[in-house]
Structure 1
Amino acid sequence: MIHLPVLITDLGLILAAAGVTTLIFKRIKQPLVLGYILAGLLVGPHIKFIPTVTDKESVNIWAEIGVIFLLFSLGLEFSFKKLVKVGGSASITAIVEVVFMLLIGFAAGKLMGWSTMDSIFLGGILSVSSTTIIIRAFEELGVKHKKFAGLVFGVLIVEDLVAILLLVLLSTLAVSQQFAGTEMLISILKLCFFLVLWFIGGIFLIPSFLKATKKLMNDETMLVVSIALCLIMVLLAVKVGFSPALGAFIMGSILAETTQAERIEHLTKSVKDLFAAIFFVSVGMLIDPRVLVDYAGPIVIITIATVLGKFLSSGFGALISGQPLKTSVQTGLSLAQIGEFSFIIATLGLSLKVTSEFLYPIAVAVSAITTFTTPYLIKASEPFYLFIERSLPKKWIEGLNRYSSSTAGITTLSDWKVFLRAYTFNTIIHSVILIALVFLGSKYLQPFIATHLINGNTGTVVSLLLTLIIMTPFLWALALRRMERKAYSNLWLNKKYTRGPLVALEALRITLAVFFVGFLIFQFYNTLVSMAIALALILSVMFIFSRKLQAFYNRLESRFLYNLNAREAQNTQPEILPWDTHLAELSVAPESKLVGQTLSELAVREKYGVNIALIERGKIMIPTPGRDERLYPHDKILVIGTDDQLAIVKELFEGALDETANADFPKKDMTLQKIVINSQSPVFGESIRNSGIRDLTQGLVVGIERHGQRILNPDSNFVFENEDIVWIVGNNKKVPDLLKKT
């Protein structure tokens, strides 16, 4: 008898349970994540009346793969450039929310008598909102076009990065079992170092690789390559002491900057959905219903703390960032839940065995409750704002409006700010690159040359020289490269400022470059003479070959910037955000009445008060389209207006159909039918054009068989004869009525 491995039977049980529960949750219009958790509860060890999973270790491996692909897909939606573009409002809102929720979670845990580590992890669990749940709720409620939705998406982008930072910090804290400031600082610096290094290296190499192999990349190859890149970065992350989830997230965010991002996201979606389902089922397997009953009180307390805390903290953060009261209230109520990142943080505490077993099921229960409440809170946000507006004193409302208007003004940067910002970025980026090259040369290149090529002192010298040659362009950029020449000239010639700070900054740059050269040489030799000779040599080379180094570095920089901006250049969209208006992207549905009309015929500005800023048609961008431009199916239109104006226009673009008008001809009635013509048929002796088949039956003649000869797509002048076999695509109810009459 053949015996299946336990892993396969467990996987079949998991997916069967997940399939049934998700069908039910789809039917009752609830998030599928909750269905997966319920499936895990059913097949877990705590419920005995149905078959249960037996090999938990294998399921945990599948779940870890699920976390990797879940974070990879989040990275594909993240993009570092999106983080830069979300602006100060989203960043301030997210930071205020995270800090407040960390404190609220910690305080709630301590008040309930929990341990310090449980309380810290509870704060981390409550600090991050659910991207998946919010996006789904926005789609179902049709509010993605509203102004607050853009702010919420920006907050979620910042929270994703903060959550990654929390994973690193909580891992460090769990290992050390104490709040060691030095270790925390080292962890943060280490994370920042590798984030910058991986981002620079990834943007320089991966888009170039994808472009070079574009002709070889069909869907299958692209899927395999994308997953391979994800797992390679996972290995690198683990190698330097980070979690696999961080590596997956970083690779996703790097690929998000490429022109193939949408294609990769589409191809990997099924893989992500499968393994994410297994992860969420494994989450449900760890829930003990008795724990939920025993800790019903803490669950209620934490749920209330989550909803109120997130509403107040994110709403307050939005207010102080300069958002109007209405947007702040809507943002606060939209973010009032926890989700997938909270599960990952809870899993981390459990796997490191630093948190109590009850914390995990409590976090899942709170997530389930807040997931159910999220759509209702979003729906109630506008009425609640109107209630607040009526309740608050008029002077307060006017003061908030003045504050919001004042922060929306255009700000200009002084020459000093422009100059210092450019020099800071230049110093940080090239310092990271040089440190990485020093360690690569001393830890990997030198041992490789000594082992496989040249041994002894000669091998060491060769390794040192090769490393120095590779470092030279970046040393030149750090020490001698000129940036923001206009701002520098203004500062140098301005009599109000002394030239001392500028000279000091230049001296600092050169000193840093000398330090990195000395640091490299110290890895190979520790004699002062050799260090002095090498320093003099490298500085001489930098000055003598300055122009060639500049040309070479400019080529490297151009390649990097081209890769970085390629996707943006492909999808350029202007940013116009005056007063209470905002941009929204709408798609022209094929059934919309707008299809085929010119903008002058539509007159959306005159009728609805909105303006069309851009039309995206495939890869074609039409900014500020003219009055004679027509709309076509699937055009993406960038429209500017208020929430109320966009809500009206949105219905026109979506093209809601009159269902009763189409009820008599459902799609399923269109079939391919075979009809045999006889001398009594109404169409006998008639041509296809004159037979009336197209007009009366909504049918189309696609083939005729006569005396064994087959004619595909016959001419409209073809005349029907006795015993012709006619193939027709049409309404299966109307075609027989016409052709079978005798």
Structure 2
Amino acid sequence: MDHTVFQLGLAVTLIALAGLLSSKLRFSVIPFYILIGMAVGPHAPVVGLFDFRFIESASLIEFLGRLGVLFLLFYLGLEFSVGRLIKSGKSIAVGGTIYIVINFTLGLLFAWIVGLPFKEILVVAGITTISSSAIVAKVLIDLKRTANPETEMILGIIMFEDVFLAVYISILSGLVLSGSSSFVDVLISAGVALGFMLIVLIVGRKCAPLLNRLLNIRSNEVFLLFIFGFLFLIAGFSETIHVAEAIGALLFGLVLAETEHMKRIEHMILPFRDFFGALFFFSFGLTIDPLSLGDAVWLSLGAVVITLIGNFVAGMLAGRMAGLSNKSSANIGLTIVSRGEFSIIMANLGKAGGLLAILQPFAALYVLILAILGPLLTKESKTVYKIINKIFRLDKPKAAAVSSVPDRDREG
């Protein structure tokens, strides 16, 4: 008998209970969604006669979760505008390069130090470099930080990461899957990803008056159908040219942010963002096998430490290069520390290539830890910055610099 609808209803109920518990504890809801997914996932143990595993509906929930990522990134794009990103283009390119170089280098060094083979080193570096677009978007929206000065840089780094991801996956697929990835292929992948982003942003900005007329629809039903249709078309097309579908959704949101219908779209999309976004994190938990995590504990903890250090340093450098304050710069590194869907993709690539079996449990535990730590660090960023500032004195007291002159005068 097909129990898909019943399991879906049970999943939504469990998600609602997890959300209620997180609100009572005043903690980020994301880890609760992931953990409840792990508890009832296909890999969960059967207790006596009770089998709570989600097997029949797992593929459906996974697909609904993919829609959740699209809605999260689309909504985040609505909070910005193409014009703001274009003005910050140079600083975003510099900040994105700094972020990738630092985190990728640390990932390579870490994997080499622990003694992994060459191909595994490349996979681990990919796992530890790319942050989770879905988690970052969810945290920024939940904490109402979309208007913060550092959020432009965060958004830019997410897009920059996707260009890197398109290039890196093309290289890694060729090496790991015993194919070939020529320099020309790499250049084509990078050019297509970057070109697609620029075309959508530039053409979208020029077409704002046309979009205003096209979306001047009274019926909410028809209006929403047009928005959904274009959203899925653009996201789906971006996936076919090896640009993450989530980035396609983000770009579409940025384009519509230039129109006079932005507030109406934002209001109507909100329930879909929350519902499908919750399903994404739940579905992510379904993919994690709790029994396989034990062997990768120390490897995962080591990777978490270097990621926290790398993200903070990269965020500080990227922010300061863009003229942001130390506090805003620290927020960059603390916000994009979460890892998620892209890290799992890298681990699955390693599995497909027949690499060491430790890669998947390592990626799962590493992602789970940072999915819990990331939102917590972002929420408590003020406290974290105060502690770091006390240790490293990032903000040197101005009074000390002023008083030093009369002190020297007295000594003379």
The interval holding the TM-score normalised by the smaller chain is 0.7 to 0.9
Partner of 2:360: 357
| Change beyond 3 A, Cα 1:380–1:206 | closer
| Change beyond 3 A, Cα 1:262–1:300 | same
Partner of 2:76: 74
Correspondence 1:277 to 2:278: yes
| Change beyond 3 A, Cα 1:392–1:235 | closer
Larger Rg: 1
Quote the Cα distance in structure 2 between the aligned partners of 1:374 and 1:11.
31
| Change beyond 3 A, Cα 1:70–1:170 | farther
**Aligned residue among 379, 386, 389 for 1:385:** 389
Quote the Cα distance in structure 1 between the aligned partners of 2:5 and 2:172.
34
Correspondence 1:294 to 2:295: yes
**Aligned residue among 117, 127, 133 for 2:139:** 133
> Residue 336 of structure 1: SS of its match in structure 2?
helix
Quote the Cα distance in structure 2 between the aligned partners of 1:57 and 1:391.
50
Partner of 2:61: 59
> Residue 52 of structure 1: SS of its match in structure 2?
coil
**Aligned residue among 117, 120, 127 for 2:125:** 120
| Change beyond 3 A, Cα 1:348–1:190 | same
- Report 1:22-421 matches (<5 A): 22-47=19-44, 48-49=46-47, 51-55=52-56, 56-86=58-88, 92-114=94-116, 115-125=120-130, 130-134=136-140, 136-137=142-143, 149-150=148-149, 152-177=150-175, 180-205=182-207, 207-214=209-216, 216-323=217-324, 327-329=325-327, 331-332=329-330, 335-336=333-334, 338=336, 342-350=339-347, 352=349, 353=352, 356-358=359-361, 359-382=363-386, 384-385=388-389, 388-389=392-393
Quote the Cα distance in structure 2 between the aligned partners of 1:201 and 1:86.
18
Residues 60-87 of structure 1, C-alpha deviation per residue, up to 9 Å, x if partnerless? Answer: 3223333333332233334322212347
Quote the Cα distance in structure 1 between the aligned partners of 2:122 and 2:32.
30
> Residue 360 of structure 2: SS of its match in structure 1?
coil
Contact 2:96 2:157 in 1 (8 A): yes
CA shift, 1:116, in A, is 2.8
Quote the Cα distance in structure 2 between the aligned partners of 1:313 and 1:153.
15
Contact 1:334 1:377 in 2 (8 A): no
Identity %: 20
- Structure with greater strand percent: 1
TM-score, normalising length: structure 2: 0.80
Contact 2:80 2:254 in 1 (8 A): yes
Contact 1:103 1:123 in 2 (8 A): no
| Change beyond 3 A, Cα 1:384–1:218 | same
CA shift, 1:111, in A, is 2.2
Quote the Cα distance in structure 2 between the aligned partners of 1:225 and 1:59.
24
CA RMSD of aligned residues (A): 3.3
Contact 2:126 2:346 in 1 (8 A): yes
Quote the Cα distance in structure 2 between the aligned partners of 1:53 and 1:187.
37
Contact 1:101 1:127 in 2 (8 A): no
**Amino acid of the residue matched to residue 69 of structure 2?**
V
Contact 1:90 1:318 in 2 (8 A): no
Quote the Cα distance in structure 2 between the aligned partners of 1:211 and 1:293.
57
Contact 2:34 2:285 in 1 (8 A): yes
**Amino acid of the residue matched to residue 158 of structure 2?**
D
Partner of 2:18: 21
The higher-RCO structure (CA 8 Å, 6+ apart) is 2
TM-score, normalising length: structure 1: 0.47
Quote the Cα distance in structure 1 between the aligned partners of 2:321 and 2:192.
31
The gaps in structure 1 that reach 5 residues or longer are 399-742
Partner of 2:408: none
CA shift, 1:263, in A, is 1.8
CA shift, 1:136, in A, is 3.8
**Amino acid of the residue matched to residue 173 of structure 1?**
I
**Amino acid of the residue matched to residue 373 of structure 1?**
L
CA shift, 1:242, in A, is 4.0
| Change beyond 3 A, Cα 1:6–1:107 | farther
CA shift, 1:18, in A, is 0.8
CA shift, 1:388, in A, is 3.7
CA shift, 1:37, in A, is 0.5
Moved more, 31-40 or 290-299: 290-299
CA shift, 1:200, in A, is 4.1
**Amino acid of the residue matched to residue 71 of structure 2?**
F
> Residue 295 of structure 1: SS of its match in structure 2?
helix
Partner of 1:478: none
> Residue 52 of structure 2: SS of its match in structure 1?
coil
Partner of 1:686: none
CA shift, 1:186, in A, is 1.1
- Report 1:675-714 matches (<5 A): none
* Aligned pairs, number: 382
Residues 599-622 of structure 1, C-alpha deviation per residue, up to 9 Å, x if partnerless? Answer: xxxxxxxxxxxxxxxxxxxxxxxx
CA shift, 1:206, in A, is 6.1
Partner of 1:617: none
| Change beyond 3 A, Cα 1:182–1:393 | farther
**Amino acid of the residue matched to residue 283 of structure 1?**
F
Quote the Cα distance in structure 2 between the aligned partners of 1:160 and 1:43.
31
Quote the Cα distance in structure 2 between the aligned partners of 1:335 and 1:217.
43
Quote the Cα distance in structure 2 between the aligned partners of 1:89 and 1:379.
27
**Amino acid of the residue matched to residue 59 of structure 2?**
E
CA shift, 1:88, in A, is 5.4
Contact 1:124 1:345 in 2 (8 A): no
Contact 2:68 2:278 in 1 (8 A): yes
Quote the Cα distance in structure 2 between the aligned partners of 1:392 and 1:209.
50
Quote the Cα distance in structure 2 between the aligned partners of 1:253 and 1:130.
16
CA shift, 1:321, in A, is 4.5
| Change beyond 3 A, Cα 1:20–1:284 | same
Quote the Cα distance in structure 1 between the aligned partners of 2:331 and 2:202.
37
| Change beyond 3 A, Cα 1:336–1:382 | same
Quote the Cα distance in structure 2 between the aligned partners of 1:247 and 1:135.
19
| Change beyond 3 A, Cα 1:52–1:106 | same
Contact 1:63 1:279 in 2 (8 A): yes
